[in-house]
Structure 1
Amino acid sequence: MAVGLCLTVSVGGAALAPAVPAFAENTQVRDLEYWLNDYGFTEAWKTTRGAGVKVAVIDTGVDAGVAELAGAVVGGTDVSGLGSANGQTPIGDGSEHGTLVASLLAGRGTGANSGVMGVAPEASILAVSVAFGTTGATLSNDDQIAAGIRWAVDNGADVINMSLTRNTLDWPPSWDDAFLYAFEHDVVVVAAAGNRGSGTTEVGAPATIPGVLTVAGVDRSKGASFDASSQGITISVAAPSEQLVGVVPGGGYVQWNGTSAAAPIVSGLVALVRAAYPRLDAAGVMNRVIATANPNGHSVPSPIYGNGLIDAAAAVTASVPTGTTAEPAALLEEWIRVHRRADTELAPAPQPTAQAPVAPAEDPALPGASVVAAWLPSPLTVTYISVPLMVLVGFGTLVTLFGIGATRHIKRIRSKR
């Protein structure tokens, strides 16, 4: 099963505008980043800007040479066999996708009021390049994802951003171990819900995996985005997914739509929470993001908005009760126990090991004839002859005795007269 990006091709969250710079001057870009104020990021920056937190972007590779990402990419790898060893060569279908994601997440801008500013502008990026929809890769798309997760964990990722989808509810067993590995190492995994407009009619894996923080999209007015988002019961929170601005490889800006863009906004928020609360574990971090989400007048949780729209300022400052979000590893382990067990039970039973034939033992000798036994009652004669005969004899004896007694009694009465 191929994994895809939600671009105009098929990966977890973006339908790109025409691939030309949308703005003549980068001073215009910052004015278009409405989500920085509308979702509380500029207020949250008074508390933290995400310094010290590493976010792995498992995507098409990140061009670290663009101005907005100068100093942001601190490591990387390629798991496809087609990119550069540091993960910084865009590859595969929609190769610009990874750079767009990274810029929206941790862009540094190009000046005080110019260039794309990410939601966590001091977080660090680990670039993991995957070749989507490309032949010649050393691993399948599914196996590239699994390998990328393990590499990210082993190289210090605190958060993993996955702006991609399989367009199916299920996922390969190899992902069980990979995601468990991330959860057991206290990593928060953020995944895009996918886009209805790109053919993902319902939330697909990895956004269906228990323990993942799944992101749906809303439009500029904070209403449901039905083309630039998919809907489903696994959605955790919602974030903007329309009229977003990102940087493409080589520089230049485009507006794009989709949960591929909503996911890094939430990954950046997770980075802010992890920086503000360094002792908080993954479940606690997710709990803060979910508990501070704004229902915005909607009944939540819902398959459209999850628990509500993210609120960055509240997530890093509000008083939040602890212990209301289950441990991600426990959730996935339980799912594996229930669902993979069924797969195991349906597997064909192992065949017994072949053994050399063994000759049967001789039958025991039959008992010899007995004169005494011939005169003794058998079980059949006892059951069907002897016992009924004894019952009849006993009944006859009682009748006889009763008759004798009655006769004597009558004689005594007559003699007294």
Structure 2
Amino acid sequence: MAIFIVRPKSSLGSRTVGLISKNFKPEDRQRQISELVGLRSEDPCYKELNRWLDQSPASVTSLAPEARTPVTGTKIVDMSEEEATKLRQDLPDLVIMRDRPVGLIEPAKTNSTTKTRVLKKDLWHLDAIGLTDIKKRGFTGTGKGVTIAVLDTGIDATHPELSGKVMGAYTFNVNTWQTSFNGTSIDTQGHGTHVAGLICGKNVGVAPEAKVVSGTMLPGGRGNISDFILALEWAASDPTISIVNISAGIPGNVPDMMSSVAALLGIGILPVIAAGNEGRNKTRSPGNYVDSLSVGASNQENKVSSFSSGGVLVADNHRYEVPDVVAPGEQVWSSVMGGGYEAWDGTSMATPIVSGVAALILEKYPEITVTDLIEGIVTSCKNLAYKNIVSKKTLNYPPERQGSGLIQAKPLYQ
């Protein structure tokens, strides 16, 4: 027996366009979920799947029936390979895939020094996105009132940077399809603490009054697609969560989680996802999905980091580039598990910076829609260029390296 992920091959697609224009208001979340469920209930493929599962033998167990996956619409089924083969034959319009690992996008800790406090020069990432400048000119935004789900390794809530900012901590059990609230927020590996600090840390964070909720999707840095889907359903069920921050993936263009990510947009949640650390012409899923806000990394010289993933992809006959934007992700100082600060390299560091900027925008424009928020981010970026070592000419990075460019907070004070 094994766990399989089951869903229709065709997603709701263009039928969700009207949903995607919805807003982030908590009071509208349940209505938007109901609209999504209503669209799905009209899909004949879903009806056939439900009928097949109802008539299947006792050896086929649905771990997540439809009522428990209202947003992603995904079935999590425990069955044998033989039963999976039969289901493929009976219902060829389904995607039936064996559960597979989703790994942490590991950063590099190129600076082994752990500091007890950060200096002004260590906060270069806030300078690079223009946040320091607009604060000097009177900008007072802090992300207050915005909640971000950090789907990661957990968060060390005892770090001084994060005191009072972690609103809850949850773990996931796919076999029982349950989410458990933990009284104490801990980090199982260290990655999530560094990420959370860049979102809302007292000194290093972009949005220091935003709140985070910890979802330990990657205990010890490892998880599965089924954990990913359960984590998304959990985040969607909390109407206060407006953004999910993810630094995990599977190398390559793997469509297994695509419809789940797309569904978030239809209920008023922005998925901000790291593109990967494999460099040029290599990306990771779900960070390379067209429906995610994909993030690459830049350095202190306003250059795209060599390790930052990017490329050109095709989905549904549409060509697009990844990442959507870049943010500081090289030698970025943030909080570490157990106290202190370290400088890490990775798109995992760039991603929470983008989540922080999104929180600042949401604070200032609470009526904004998901599509307008994304548009506001990508159209406010700073174009990055480099000097060609052969021609000696200054050239712009192509979109598959920088997306729309380096994210900027400056338009918030214009």
So what's the TM-score if we normalise by structure 2?
Answer: 0.65
Which amino acid is the alignment partner of residue 222 of structure 1? N
Please state how far the C-alpha of 1:177 moved relative to its aligned partner. Answer: 4.7
Letter in 2 for 1:274: L
Contact kept? 2:331, 2:344, Cα under 8 Å: yes
Q: Give 2:200's aligned residue.
A: 106
C-alpha RMSD over aligned residues? 2.4
After TM superposition, what 4+ stretches of structure 1 lie above 6 angstroms from structure 2? 81-84
CA contact (8 A) 2:303 2:384 kept: no
State the 1:181 CA deviation. 3.4
Query: Is 2:241 aligned against 1:162?
Result: no
Equivalence for 1:67: 160
- The answer to whether the 8 A contact 2:128-2:300 is kept is no
Cα distance 1:224–1:296, how it changes in 2: closer, same or farther (>3 A)?
Answer: closer
Instruction: State which of 212, 217, 222 in structure 1 corresponds to 2:302.
Output: 222
What is the count of residue pairs matched by the alignment? 289
* Residue matched to 1:251: 339
Distance 1:254 1:80, change over 3 A: farther
- Tell me the residue number matched to 2:293: 213
CA distance in 2, matches of 1:134, 1:239: 23
Alignment of 1:10-409 (within 5 A): 14-17=107-110, 21-23=113-115, 25-26=116-117, 28-45=118-135, 46-80=139-173, 85=182, 88-91=185-188, 95-109=189-203, 117-131=204-218, 141-155=224-238, 156-172=240-256, 175-196=257-278, 202-227=282-307, 229-232=308-311, 233-297=321-385, 299=396, 302-314=399-411, 316-318=412-414
Aligned twin of 2:101: 2
Is the CA contact 2:310–2:323 (under 8 Å) kept in the aligned structure 1?
yes
Other structure's SS at 1:158 match? strand
Report SS of the residue matched to 1:33. helix
Residues 283/162 of structure 1: CA separation in 2 closer, same or farther (3 Å cut): same
| 3-state SS of paired residue (2:273) | strand
Whole-angstrom distance in 1 between the partners of 2:119 and 2:132: 16
Letter aligned with residue 231 of structure 2 = G
Letter in 2 for 1:108: K
Distance 1:171 1:144 in 2: 16
1:44 to 1:300, Cα distance in 2 relative to 1, 3 A:
same
2:168·2:181 contact (CA, 8 Å) conserved in 1? Answer: no
How big is the shift at 1:299? 4.2
The answer on whether the counterparts of 1:83 and 1:129 sit within 8 Å (CA) in structure 2 is: no
Q: Deviations over 1:254-301 (max 9, x none)?
A: 110010000001110111111111100111111111001111345476
**Contact 2:152/2:192 (8 A) holds in 1:** yes
Letter in 2 for 1:241: G
Structure 1: which 5+ runs fail to align?
Answer: 8-13, 110-116, 319-417
Taking every aligned residue pair, what percent have the same amino acid on both sides?
29
Gaps of 5+ in 2: 1-99, 312-320, 386-394
Query: What is the TM-score when the length of structure 1 is the normalising length?
Result: 0.65
Identify, as 1 or 2, the structure richer in strand.
2
Say whether the 8 Å CA contact 1:80–1:130 is kept in structure 2: no
Shift of 1:132: 5.1
CA contact (8 A) 1:130 1:144 kept: yes
Q: Which amino acid aligns with 1:193?
A: A
Give the match for residue 415 of structure 1. Answer: none
Query: 1:43: how far off?
Result: 3.6
Question: How far, CA to CA, are the matches of 1:222 and 1:73 in structure 2?
Answer: 32
Aligned-partner Cα distance in 1 for 2:245–2:184: 15
Judging changes above 3 Å, is the alpha-carbon distance between structure 1 residues 245 and 177 closer, same or farther for their aligned structure 2 residues? same
Residues 72 and 106 of structure 1 are in contact (CA less than 8 Å); yes or no, is this contact kept in structure 2? yes
Partners of 1:192 and 1:141 in 2: CA distance: 17
